């Protein structure tokens, strides 16, 4: 039912935008970027959004995942502002948080996993992406929804493990991602599965015991990064002991949905972006969490956050007329 309705919408949107514009094109859609200030439902800047064909969106989706894979992600991270991302890109990942702008998103989408790939000896729950298959895909106008199974190389437990990532992507006229919303499907199951894989390696028999052993190991790695990169004005801890004491005992390990909260797991994520911009990322591994590893939202605030202010993730005319709801 949903799919046939979507296909109908796609058929309506046959406006052909020709060859995908080069990524360095300077064309700006009439009225600027979609939505702009208001970004509400149905009217104004919203109608300035481009219409792509299904095939164009499939290609943009695969181009993105190709760049996400190691070793392509290393080159993408080096570009500093990925040409796949719009200058005003807004991104959200359910297990972490929101990320604004091309530089931060380049670091987070590509740099983070490039660092993990280049440091296979680190103790971490994370891995790096080596291959993918798109298993669900629907697209209309300039919005696509995809479910992609990505094989991650989890070097800490020497396993390749699949993770399914559900994404909503919206592209601007230049074919750059202007908004994305990603969900790590079954992530609690992944988290528990990771602990299960670590148990025989650590000689533990319960998840809690495993976490008790992992916490100081992960803390040691983060403190090593701190000592190496977070110097001068970027220093967060007085010394290595202070760092270790805080991360091993004064902050909680965290659970599957807390990679953007005041936890060790959050600092384990952000540690990987420090080499790119210590001045931006060092505070995230510090005691304050630097606005990234903080308990700043309740559950309901997270669900109801009106983050996608450029344009609603709903085709023309169907979004709520209430701009706050349309941006959720
Ligand atoms: C895209 O298609 C929608 C729906 O048919 C239309 O309202 C809108 O004006 C089109 N956008 C452009 C830029 O042509
Ligand atoms: C990356 O984009 C930001 C704006 O988001 C800009 O300030 C910065 O100079 C750009 N860096 C490079 C290397 O292009
Ligand atoms: C996974 O990482 C390990 C450790 O770096 C490496 O030896 C192995 O070749 C990698 N496997 C794949 C499929 O990338
Ligand atoms: C490390 O920092 C802590 C906390 O500021 C301080 O109490 C301790 O004396 C310092 N240790 C050394 C060896 O400097
Ligand atoms: C729009 O929705 C928000 C969130 O539900 C609500 O707080 C606000 O009152 C609504 N505005 C109008 C004009 O109905």
**301, 275: one domain:** yes
Q: What value, to the nearest 5°, has the Cα angle with vertex 224 and ends 92 and 244?
A: 90
Q: What is the pLDDT of residue 18?
A: 32
**209, 174: one domain:** no
Q: Tell me which residue has its CA closest to atom 12 in ligand 3.
A: 153
Q: What is the pLDDT of residue 316?
A: 85
Is the pLDDT reported for residue 115 higher than 50?
A: yes
Q: What is the pLDDT of residue 49?
A: 86
Rounded distance between C-alpha atoms, residue 81 and residue 269, angstroms: 20
Could you list the beta-strand ranges (E) of 155-299: 159-171, 177-184
Rounded distance between C-alpha atoms, residue 274 and residue 228, angstroms: 10
Q: Tell me which residue has its CA closest to atom 3 in ligand 4.
A: 242
Mutate to test the pocket of ligand 1, among 10, 13, 30, 57 (most ligand atoms within 8 A of CB): 13
In a domain, 197, yes or no: no
- Looking at the structure of the chain, the number of domains it has is 2
Mean pLDDT of 61-77: 98
Rounded distance between C-alpha atoms, residue 89 and residue 322, angstroms: 22
Q: Which pLDDT tens digit goes with each residue over 235-268?
A: 999 999 999 999 999 999 999 999 999 999 999 9
Burial category of 192 from C-beta neighbours within 10 Å (exposed 0-12, middle 13-18, buried 19 and up): middle
**163, 280: one domain:** no
Range of the domain at 288: 203-306
List the CATH number of the domain containing 11: 3.10.450.50
In a domain, 320, yes or no: no
Query: Which of the listed residues 133, 158, 185 is the one where a domain comes to its end?
Result: 185
What is the number of the ligand 3 atom nearest to the C-alpha of 120?
A: 5
Is the pLDDT reported for residue 10 higher than 60?
A: no
CA atoms within 13 A on the CB side of 115: 22
Q: pTM to 2 decimals?
A: 0.87
Give the number of whichever ligand sits closest to the CA of residue 306. 5
In a domain, 113, yes or no: yes
CA 47 to chain centre: 27
**178, 213: one domain:** no
**243, 94: one domain:** no
260 by DSSP, 3-state: which?
A: coil
In a domain, 252, yes or no: yes
Lowest-pLDDT choice from 27-36, 100-109, 251-260, 294-303: 27-36
In a domain, 324, yes or no: no
**64, 181: one domain:** yes
């Amino acid at each position: 039912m949903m799919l046939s309705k979507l296909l109908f919408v796609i058929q309506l949107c046959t406006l052909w935008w020709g060859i995908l514009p080069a990524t360095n094109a300077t064309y700006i859609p009439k009225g600027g970027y979609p939505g702009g200030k208001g970004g509400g439902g149905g009217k104004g800047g919203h109608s300035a959004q481009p219409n792509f064909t299904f095939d164009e969106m499939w290609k943009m989706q695969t181009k993105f995942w190709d760049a996400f894979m190691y070793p392509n992600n290393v080159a993408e991270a080096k570009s500093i502002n990925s040409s796949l991302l719009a200058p005003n890109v807004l991104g959200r990942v359910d297990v972490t948080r929101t990320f604004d702008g091309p530089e931060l998103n380049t670091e987070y989408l590509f740099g983070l996993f490039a660092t993990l790939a280049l440091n296979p000896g680190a103790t971490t729950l994370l891995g790096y992406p080596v291959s993918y298959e798109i298993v669900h895909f629907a697209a209309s106008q300039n919005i696509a929804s995809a479910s992609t199974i990505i094989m991650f190389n989890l070097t800490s437990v020497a396993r390749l493990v699949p993770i399914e990532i559900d994404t909503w992507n919206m592209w601007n006229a230049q074919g750059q991602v202007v908004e994305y919303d990603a969900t790590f499907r079954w992530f609690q199951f992944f988290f528990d599965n990771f602990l299960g894989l670590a148990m025989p390696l650590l000689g533990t028999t319960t998840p809690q015991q495993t976490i008790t052993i992992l916490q100081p190991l992960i803390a040691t790695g983060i403190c090593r990064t701190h000592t190496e990169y977070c110097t001068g004005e970027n220093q967060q801890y007085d010394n290595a002991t202070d760092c270790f004491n805080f991360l091993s005992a004064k902050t909680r390990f965290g659970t599957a949905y807390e990679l953007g909260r005041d936890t060790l797991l959050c600092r384990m994520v952000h540690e990987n972006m420090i080499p790119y911009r210590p001045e931006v990322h060092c505070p995230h591994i510090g005691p304050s969490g630097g606005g990234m590893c903080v308990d700043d939202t309740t559950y309901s605030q997270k669900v109801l956050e009106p983050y996608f202010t450029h344009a609603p993730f709903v085709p023309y005319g169907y979004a709520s007329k209430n701009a706050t709801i349309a941006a959720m």
